[in-house]
């Protein structure tokens, strides 16, 4: 399993349900990595997507506690146990965790690879993920950048590897 995320210098990922700083090149990179793959996300994250609809060209698995929730073309799971059962039918490398905060915090320990876009700035935020540099099991193995977006905003692409991913229950 993999995850993909954009973070600021403090490992914040969002505010009021939105990305901290959408970067067009990063969004293209997100699409290229996840196209024809499986994306796992929470219901609140789905509502931030264009039109509040599942991403085209991907298998969307939405985790929600709302038993009556539905989304056209998406697979709905109401628990982590149900999610893990569903994920067993896919190749591990094809699975991408894409948010939001609660989903990342629960599932990052099961991931082998993390694709992190690091924005070299700190933003006001209300959602973050654990700082991988302080975990002990995650190590940055590749870095591209920094690249200039606009004004005082620079970003880099990092690839992290987890030396001790948890096995799926």
DSSP of 56-114, one letter per residue? Answer: TTSEEEEE-S-TT---TTEEEESSHHHHHHHHTTS-GGGEEEEE-HHHHHHHGGG-SEE
Task: Give, rounded to a whole angstrom, the gap between the first and last alpha carbons of the chain.
Answer: 13
| For residues 81-96, average pLDDT | 96
CATH superfamily of 2-162: Dihydrofolate Reductase, subunit A (3.40.430.10)
Q: Average pLDDT over the chain, rounded to whole?
A: 96
80-111 burial by CB neighbour count: b if 16+ within 10 A, else e? eeebeebbeeeeeebbbbbbbbebbeebbebb
Which pLDDT does position 155 carry in this prediction? 98
Which pLDDT does position 7 carry in this prediction? 98
**pLDDT tens readout for residues 103-149:** 999 999 999 999 999 999 999 999 999 999 999 999 999 999 999 99
Label residue 80 by pLDDT band (50, 70, 90): very high
What does the domain layout of the chain look like in residue ranges?
2-162
């Amino acid at each position: 399993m993999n995850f993909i995320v954009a973070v600021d210098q403090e490992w914040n990922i969002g505010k009021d349900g939105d990305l901290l700083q959408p970067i067009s090149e990063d969004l293209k990179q997100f699409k290229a990595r996840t196209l024809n793959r499986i994306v796992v996300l929470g219901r609140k994250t789905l509502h931030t997507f264009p039109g509040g609809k599942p991403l085209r060209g991907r298998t969307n698995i939405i985790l929600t506690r709302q038993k009556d929730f539905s989304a056209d073309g998406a697979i709905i799971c109401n628990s982590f146990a149900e999610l893990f059962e569903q994920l067993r039918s896919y190749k591990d490398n094809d699975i991408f965790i894409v948010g939001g905060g609660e989903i990342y915090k629960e599932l990052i320990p099961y991931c082998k690879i993390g694709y992190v876009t690091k924005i070299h700035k700190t933003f006001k935020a209300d959602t973050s993920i654990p700082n991988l540099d302080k975990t002990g099991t995650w190590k940055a193995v590749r870095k591209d950048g920094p690249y200039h977006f606009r004004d005082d905003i620079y970003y880099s692409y990092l690839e992290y590897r987890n030396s001790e991913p948890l096995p799926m229950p």
